[in-house]
Amino acid sequence: MQFKSFKSIFAWFDTAVAPAVPPEDRGIDWLRLIPFIAIHAGCFGVLWVGVSWFAVGVAAALYVIRMFAITGFYHRYFSHRAFRTSRPAQFLFAVLGNSAAQRGPLWWSAHHRHHHRTSDTPADLHSPVQHGFLRSHLLWFISRGAFSTRLTEVRDLARFAELRFLDRFDGLVPLTLLVGLWCVGSVLEATWPALGTGGWQLVVWGFCISTVLVYHATFSVNSLAHLFGSRRFATRDDSRNNWFIALITLGEGWHNNHHRFPGAARQGLRWWELDLTWLGLRLLAACGIIWDLRKAR
């Protein structure tokens, strides 16, 4: 038992050393809560580091950039192949998505594809209807059976060595972001004191607070968007359209639309359904970075 605990800790840095556990094991790996709690606890550091407009701006920018990478690429591209792009752009946005500390692109996409096949059935790991709000919102991803990547779900993505690398060492990019923010803040504190910022202030605002906000906005799609909102389409699950979730997730809250047309690059189907991710994808398409955006059919 102690040996397995050590392997669970080492798996924070290299997922390949994680103990072999069947996907059906839904017991909670409580050790994996430690990094998650630490990031949340880091938000309270604001009591010591204070606030500056620069730090808040960095936090807001990182929220938007990483949320777009999660919604536009982790979700609409990697999970649903809603458009096409080049291999360098694929890797760049995979890195940006990985910086949100939501595991690697293969892990994220594999679990999401499984969700669509089993949505709101007992096999769906994050169905609030089947397993309650708390498990659907966050406890599901620290269950022992959910740790490993379901490679059978993502054979199309697993052929890229760089994506497998990000998936194996999925803590490397978030840690690099944290250290980078501390370095930038420390340099600015010494060279541009008028900004009123510093290394630890940028870590607290740019990493901890921004990451926690991205976490719970993303998680709300799994939990709240299957409980509250309207249903335009009679899908086989309980997915719902929720304007507030759409606002904080840059468009993911039009969740009933998405479950009706999962392969579409656009989720806000009406002119008044604000889908900022769709607008961002249109901009990338205009620049030639992505192409062949699939439409709802």
CA atoms of 297 and 261, how far apart (whole Å): 7
pLDDT of residue 6: 57
Question: Domain of 78?
Answer: 2-18+29-118+135-225
Q: Is residue 124 part of a domain?
A: no
From residue 99, alpha-carbon distances to 69, 74, 213, 242 in Å are 9, 12, 13, 26
> Which amino acid makes up residue 2?
Q
Local mean pLDDT, 10-residue blocks, the chain (297 residues)? 55 72 79 90 97 98 98 98 98 98 96 94 91 91 87 95 96 97 97 95 98 98 96 96 98 97 96 97 98 92
* DSSP helix/strand/coil, 230: strand
Quick check: is 259 in a domain? no
Within a domain: 277: no
A 10 A CB-CB count for 118 gives: 15
Is the CB of residue 140 less than 8 Å from the CB of residue 20?
Answer: no
Closest CA to 105 of 127, 83, 76: 76
DSSP state of 209: I
User: Among 248, 206, 211, which Cα is nearest to 54's?
Assistant: 206
- 183 within some domain: yes
Quote the number of domains for the chain.
1
As beta bridge partners, residue 230 has: 241
Q: How far is Cα 161 from Cα 139, in angstroms, rounded to an integer?
A: 30
pTM of the entire predicted model: 0.94
